[in-house]
A and B are shown apart, each in its own frame.
Chain A
Amino acid sequence: NAGVMQNPRHLVRRRGQEARLRCSPMKGHSHVYWYRQLPEEGLKFMVYLQKENIIDESGMPKERFSAEFPKEGPSILRIQQVVRGDSAAYFCASSPRMETQYFGPGTRLLVL
């Protein structure tokens, strides 16, 4: 059973461009979570999705950030008009139900 997959692993964008981060959950997992890790900080929750539904987006910045988890295909975290402060590692986690979340390897976004 393959683990949580994220791509790309590294992404470089210039200020003002769009970043699209993809996450494929483990087989059989219908819950997806996105977290952001800034340097010298722990992970901060961004959004929790189930298939076609956003359950909790209390950690998402109000502007420029959006997430989806369509019926078919991976979950997408989209950042529009990136700024240097968006540079961070973005981690996706999945779970089959409540309790234990399994993390992907992360996407490291660098905004120039």
Chain B
Amino acid sequence: AQSVTQLDSQVPVFEEAPVELRCNYSSSVSVYLFWYVQYPNQGLQLLLKYLSGSTLVESINGFEAEFNKSQTSFHLRKPSVHISDTAEYFCAVTSTQGGSEKLVFGKGTKLTVNP
């Protein structure tokens, strides 16, 4: 079984400041890792994912995340945030072993970017 911990439920930052949203996971098997973003009253949009290969993955809008196997982490970073990045961010994992492929989510981090 897997579990995901997002250490910060809310993160307020000012526009153009850097941000890091933390995600740690626990699993007895290897996993795929994902970050999803949810804007108010909308569904989840895939932001980025780690499946294999380079441990640093990037999104098209400036976010990046690094898979750290030894620390079982997949923290999300952006060097300079915009007002439009205000949303809730969810970290999720799924087993690579096949079978159900269900996603296990953290409780989410609400990012608020202030002017």
Verify if A59 is at the interface (C-beta below 8 Å from B).
Answer: yes
Verify if B105 is at the interface (C-beta below 8 Å from A).
Answer: yes
Question: Complex formed: what's the CA distance from A98 to B24 in Å?
Answer: 22
A-B pairs under 8 A by CB, number: 65
Nearest opposing residue in chain A for B49, CB measure: A100
Residues of B within 8 A of A18 (CB): none
Verify if B42 is at the interface (C-beta below 8 Å from A).
Answer: yes
Q: Indicate if the CB atoms of A106 and B43 lie closer than 8 Å.
A: yes
Nearest opposing residue in chain B for A102, CB measure: B46
Q: Indicate if the CB atoms of A91 and B43 lie closer than 8 Å.
A: yes
Verify if B84 is at the interface (C-beta below 8 Å from A).
Answer: no
Q: Indicate if the CB atoms of A43 and B105 lie closer than 8 Å.
A: yes
Contact A43/B90 with A99-B32, A102-B46 known, Cβ cut-off 8 Å: yes
Residues of A within 8 A of B101 (CB): 31, 48, 95, 98-99, 101
Q: Indicate if the CB atoms of B100 and A48 lie closer than 8 Å.
A: yes
Question: Complex formed: what's the CA distance from A48 to B98 in Å?
Answer: 13
Residues of A within 8 A of B98 (CB): 98
Q: Bin chain A's interface residue count.
A: 20 to 34
Q: Indicate if the CB atoms of A48 and B42 lie closer than 8 Å.
A: no
Residues of B within 8 A of A (CB): 4, 6, 32, 34, 36, 41-46, 49, 51, 90, 92, 94, 98-108
Residues of A within 8 A of B4 (CB): 42
Nearest opposing residue in chain B for A6, CB measure: B43
Q: Indicate if the CB atoms of A55 and B100 lie closer than 8 Å.
A: yes
- Chain A 45-61, CB-CB to B under 8 Å as 1, else 0, gives 10010000001101100
- Chain A 23-44, CB-CB to B under 8 Å as 1, else 0, gives 0000000010101000011111
Return the contact of A105 from the options B34, B36, B42 (Cβ within 8 A). Answer: B42
Pairs A–B under 8 Å by Cβ, sample size 24: A31-B101, A42-B4, A42-B106, A42-B107, A42-B108, A43-B44, A43-B103, A43-B105, A44-B105, A45-B102, A56-B100, A58-B102, A91-B43, A91-B44, A95-B101, A98-B98, A100-B49, A101-B46, A103-B36, A103-B44, A103-B45, A103-B46, A104-B43, A106-B42
A77 vs chain B, min Cβ distance (A)? 15
